[in-house]
Structure 1
């Protein structure tokens, strides 16, 4: 038997999400309380998969679980789109924001952002909720 276990591509895509940060968010927001099947980790894996594969609806996401590989990666055999919708509504946007900001911080650390920022134009994230609405167009 090999000493080296290879990560699947899917595991590599999900691995930058800090498990300790995610556990803190789960505890803070009580995300896995009263949850029998769709724990936050499995749900986030499904969302990452859906984003990477440009899946357009929760119904289509639930249908992708017919794949044995995806079932193994998410620890789910099946899930209905209504369960996905309810779960999505239960998770505060702050959780997704914190995961995103943690990933951005990792990118900055690996790309030596602070040093490069002085010589290049910085990346700016625009929050569309703060932009004024133009109702005339």
Structure 2
């Protein structure tokens, strides 16, 4: 994405978040009680930008904020260190992000109506992985890097209405790519909507899921070849900027 596109897409992401509502959640949990610089809202903005740009390391995130004026304007900071990002990442309770997600779902219900929104969303299955670093000498079997071992927890969490519960947890050594466990985390439920990031990007799997009626949402990589087959009409009153049938890949 170029800077102009990033700015526009970033604004589309930020607009429905309603900073005042989220700030009330933050104030209630008191997670920013003693914070002077990197508050939770700025943290959210920084990592939304990082996701849009496909930045995979805290060091690169820190460099982007420190060097680029447009990034500084978007996130509201002139600089931030890798260690500050890491500390903030550890300090935020997962429940805050679940509350933000519930807030966005509530907005969909208000805009579309409860019945239509529920039918559109159905059962959400959130798929992701977490890597845990460990001592190389004690855990030689947990293949990761030359200087350390590690395991990876591949998880899928079901979200239905206001209820959430784990659907699957698969532990593996840290080295295998996320996509190797995607089939095991996908459910055959055609009413479920699976959501996962670019770590699970695999055209062959996507073709198979589509042919079997399995619904999923992900983000394409920046170098993905996209062929527009047909442009579809867009309701001027909606937040959708473009609707099209596309063919992905060569």
TM-score with structure 2 setting the length: 0.45
Per-residue deviation, residues 21-71 of structure 1 (Å, max 9, x unmatched): 212111111122221211122111001111222221222211111110111
- Taking the TM superposition and a 5 Å limit, the aligned residue runs for 1:1-137 are 9=8, 10-65=10-65, 66-112=67-113, 114-115=115-116, 123-126=122-125, 128=156, 130-132=166-168
In proportion to residue count, which structure has more helix?
1
Q: Distance between the aligned counterparts of 1:35 and 1:21, measured in 2?
A: 19
TM-score with structure 1 setting the length: 0.77
- Label 1:69 to 1:37 Cα distance change in 2 as closer, same or farther (>3 A): same
Displacement after TM superposition at 1:121 (Å): 7.0
Q: Which has the higher contact order (CA 8 A, sep 6+)?
A: 1
Q: CA RMSD in A?
A: 2.5
Per-residue deviation, residues 64-87 of structure 1 (Å, max 9, x unmatched): 111101111222111111110100
Aligned positions, number: 127
Which ranges of structure 1 fall in alignment gaps of 5 or more residues? 1-7
Bigger CA drift: 81-90 or 18-27? 18-27
Q: Distance between the aligned counterparts of 1:116 and 1:44, measured in 2?
A: 25
Larger Rg: 2
